[in-house]
Amino acid sequence: MKLSNLFTRFIVIIALCGSFSAIADNRPNIIVILADDLGYNDVGFTNGSTQIQTPRLNELAANGVTFENGYVTHPYCGPSRAGLLTGRYQARFGMENNVSYAPFDPHMGLPTEELTFAERLKKVGYQTAIFGKWHLGAAPKFQPNQQGFDYFYGFLDGGHMYMPGQVQVGSPDGYWSPIVRNNLPAEFDEYLTTALSRDAAKYIKRSGDEPFMMYIAYNAPHAPLQAPQETINKYKHIKNKNRQIYAAMVDEMDQGIGMVVDALKEKGKYENTLIFFLSDNGGLYPDTWWPKFDWADNSPFRHGKVALMEGGVHVPFIAHWPNKIKKGFKFNGLVSALDIAATSVAIAKADASDGLLDGVNLEPYMTKRKTGTPHNALFWRLEEADNIWAVRTMTAKYMQQGLPGVGRAYFDMVNDPTEQVNAVDKYPQKQAELAKLWNEWNKNNKENILRQSNEYKSAVQAFYEQLNKDDRAQAKAREKYIVK
């Protein structure tokens, strides 16, 4: 055989290998969609309610898996997101309070030594993007582009105004600050939920052959209550005016999710995309600390955001993946937001050899190759005071929190899944077993580091007042000099 022919065959083989390599990368795209303060009963797929229209989410649930015992790691925003993105209980690294919006503070944010699952996926060839709410640090080193995301369109604080034209340059409150695209200011000229959805859809349409991971973190339906009037008008039959707007906000989010799904179909990526949808915690409930916040519906569960009752941590939670989930079904095992990172890392063939992930790969459960419960127990701890904790198994829940009518409580989760009857101390052996589980879990945790936002802001204000006082004293003490 001539040398030239051998060379030609060699080039062809190399080209084919490259082509096969590209074809062989059939790893799925991954989209995590997170609602903010969404009531359990405010989407149709949890109980068939039609008061708020969520047809696109209902369709995903009908053709996917609904996790009937789906939980988050914390009953309010920031810590819940820290757990979801790292795949680790946030108590592992002492982050149990909301991160304050403080672009000047190099310590106020998700510790940079903690790996987000975006960082893990990026290392194995995934394109990574985030749209919407970050709430894990505003100083440059904490921002999404430094925490594993190639692309960022959204905002850094715990919320934002929804209507265009409300931005105030230089505002110390991130709610009013400009939207960010990567590291630069950006604009939005329509309802914010729609703008985030549209940008996510555009990202899909311009995506290439590489698999991508998208984190769409809506601030809807978190306050402030704002929605297009036309959508609010759809819910005039609701007597509670605040709930009218809230319903419109959920409706607009559902429409935005539809835009994302339609973009997947248009791009030919619908079948091989795993979509997770959940809320970061329960909806607002008119507890003593916000008695007028009554627009969300967490029924059949008690209480809501901030509470360790089911209303605060048991959330709407689904997964959709046409290539793997052939028919919609309901799954009853204990599932955690932690599992999203573990599942994503597993199916992306990313590295988890450090053994730090607390979640479980849900792929065998979603494909019905495995039954039972992914977790034997789930755990919670709050910083607001000592002895605020909870542990939940498939059969029971043992907890303590100073909520009206709760305190220290034991619930039979088989016969009383909505926690109506406090059976504390009636089953001392079972309580002791749950306490032992919680104490074993807590051994590997750090004490909380961050201050609550109001305490932090008070300390910062006191610092500035003292700084100004010292500066004035120094100025007064200086002698005037005379020019000769």
Strands 65-71 and 127-133 come out as: unpaired
Separation CA 438–CA 398 (nearest Å)? 9
Separation CA 465–CA 230 (nearest Å)? 47
Contact 239, 253 (CB under 8 A): no
For 193-272, list the strands marked E by DSSP: 212-217
DSSP3 helix / strand / coil % (the chain, rounded to 5): 35, 15, 50
Q: Work out the angle at residue 130's Cα, subtended by the Cα atoms of residues 126 and 136, and round it to the nearest 5 degrees.
A: 115
Exposure string over 193-213, b if 16+ CB within 10 A, otherwise e: bbbbbbbbbebbeebeeebbb
Catalytic choice (17, 74, 135, 314):
135
Is 135 an active-site residue? yes
For 347-438, list the strands marked E by DSSP: 377-381, 389-393, 396-401, 407-412
Sole residue written with tokens 């109980």: 47
Is 17 an active-site residue? no
Q: Is 248 helix (H, G, I), strand (E, B) or coil?
A: helix
In 409-452, where does DSSP find H-type helix?
428-442
Catalytic choice (74, 77, 222, 314):
77
Q: Is 350 helix (H, G, I), strand (E, B) or coil?
A: coil
Both structure tokens of 405:
């009518």
Separation CA 418–CA 416 (nearest Å)? 6
Separation CA 102–CA 135 (nearest Å)? 11
Q: Is 192 helix (H, G, I), strand (E, B) or coil?
A: helix
Tell me the sheet residues that pair with 35.
279
Return the active site residues.
77, 135
